[in-house]
Structure 1
Amino acid sequence: MTIRVVLADDQQLIRTALRMVIADIDDVEVVGEAANGEEAVRLAGELRPDVVVMDIRMPGVDGIEATRRITAGTGDTHIVVLTTFDDDDYVYGALRAGAAGFLVKDMGLDDILAAIRVVAAGDALIAPSVTRRLIQDFAARPEQARVRRPLTAITEREREVLTLVGSGLSNTEIAEQLFITVATAKTYLTRLLSKLDARDRVQLVIIAYEAGLVSVTR
């Protein structure tokens, strides 16, 4: 099955580089390109792509607002935000808007392609460098500014899994850490998504931060 992708970036060079790489890939196809957020929203509605690779800083409607509009309109299109280190202030906003992946532009093209496949499959992915910065940003916030979510609805084992998700571990790593099978780890993830009314793995990461389950090493 071919993964249909829309590229949204105001830099034509970035779009061209991604399009050229994707052209050589059998299971991924670029079906549209947008130079701003408004075009990205329109193309997402018209083309119903599996994935939109979204820049944040674009003229007019930015990537965060475009992500919010797209994810609110359909559950079939997933957003991979592709940005630079200078955009750290936007990370939390993009994730809250419903982005399923958050990558940085200095990552290898192979890594970006891998992320597109992961997100298209319904999982989520955040670049390790972004995860560290997100945790540090959350830790630096005043205590009263943090939203604490009650986790009374989940079991102790589910709390353990949520903590590991918040630490950035994959399903395989969670299984190894807890001495369970990958299938069991996925079952716990499914239960957490349902009990915490979370859209995807990224939102579970945010909930883990907000609940204070993630320890931060400076």
Structure 2
Amino acid sequence: MNADTATAPPSALPIAVAIVEDEREVRQRFEDAVRAHPRLSWQFSAGSVSEAMALVAQRQADVYLVDLGLPDRDGRDFIRWLVRQCPDALPMVVTVFGDDEHVLTSLEAGAMGYLLKDSPSSEIAGRIVELFEGGSPISPSVARSVIRRFVKPAAGAQEPPEDNPLSQRELEVLRLIEKGMTYDEVAQVLALSWHTVTAYLRRVYRKLQVHSRGEAVFEARQRGIL
């Protein structure tokens, strides 16, 4: 290692990427995307969990693209193993599965991002950089599905108190506001316009007799609505 390399800032160093994918064409597409990006450096590719584990012992990467449907074991098993062996590693799922169960269990396993395989190669390369720089990239359709899961009451959940003055839609808006979302983000998740979201919030303020987002969340919690 020369002096220039030793003193180079982290942002100037290439981001080492490993690919764990059993489909040859898909694996090649990911490799080409990594090689074509100036910030990325291809480290290795593996077609199974066992092969990936053996390669990690030889040369670790910064970011790992991991498929879930691998021939020997589930990709989530590799992610769990990886975060135990390499706490600084950044695993990101790239898969065809976009349902809530696969997404949530992957995140619980330690995945820091979740992309669908139909994402353009150039986008995947950019998302790798985003992940390395502190982001948690998730395909938009997947993100909306997951957020809706938290907005909708769980099956068998206790009904809101009888003195709850809010409509179901007003409650959905308030739940998203409680999570720290902006008006634009709430509008996108609920497929509403920005003006409609603000109109719902005005009704919430009036019904709860408050004057701000923070007061609305606090009052709803005090009443057992949230």
TM-score (norm 2): 0.61
Q: Distance in 2 between matches of 1:143 and 1:78?
A: 36
Equivalence for 2:95 = 83
**Alpha-carbon offset, residue 117 of structure 1:** 0.4
Structure 2 unaligned regions, length at least 5: 1-12, 159-175, 187-226
Q: Aligned to 1:164, what secondary structure does the other structure show? A: coil
C-alpha contact (below 8 Å) 2:99/2:142 kept by paired residues: no
C-alpha contact (below 8 Å) 1:44/1:77 kept by paired residues: no
Aligned pairs (5 A) from 1:108-123: 108-123=120-135
C-alpha contact (below 8 Å) 1:36/1:62 kept by paired residues: no
Relative distance call for 1:23 and 1:119 in structure 2 (3 A) is: same
Relative distance call for 1:81 and 1:131 in structure 2 (3 A) is: same
C-alpha contact (below 8 Å) 1:44/1:52 kept by paired residues: no
Identity across matched positions, percent: 26
Aligned pairs (5 A) from 1:19-168: 19-85=31-97, 88-138=100-150, 139=152, 141-143=154-156, 162-164=179-181
Relative distance call for 1:168 and 1:44 in structure 2 (3 A) is: farther
**Alpha-carbon offset, residue 25 of structure 1:** 2.1
Q: Distance in 1 between matches of 2:117 and 2:153?
A: 25
**Alpha-carbon offset, residue 162 of structure 1:** 4.6
Relative distance call for 1:168 and 1:106 in structure 2 (3 A) is: farther
Matching residue's letter, 1:142: A
**1:67-96 per-position Cα deviation (integer Å, ceiling 9, x unaligned):** 111112222210110011465531110000
Matching residue's letter, 2:63: V
Structure 1 unaligned regions, length at least 5: 146-158, 170-218
C-alpha contact (below 8 Å) 1:15/1:33 kept by paired residues: yes
Relative distance call for 1:130 and 1:33 in structure 2 (3 A) is: same
Relative distance call for 1:164 and 1:57 in structure 2 (3 A) is: same
Pairwise CA RMSD: 2.7
Q: 1:5 aligns with which of 1, 17, 28?
A: 17
Relative distance call for 1:142 and 1:35 in structure 2 (3 A) is: same
Q: Distance in 2 between matches of 1:107 and 1:40?
A: 23
Q: Distance in 2 between matches of 1:125 and 1:26?
A: 19
State the structure with more CA Rg.
2
Q: Distance in 2 between matches of 1:78 and 1:40?
A: 14
Matching residue's letter, 1:103: L
Equivalence for 2:10 = none
**1:8-31 per-position Cα deviation (integer Å, ceiling 9, x unaligned):** 111011111111222222221111
Q: Distance in 2 between matches of 1:86 and 1:126?
A: 10
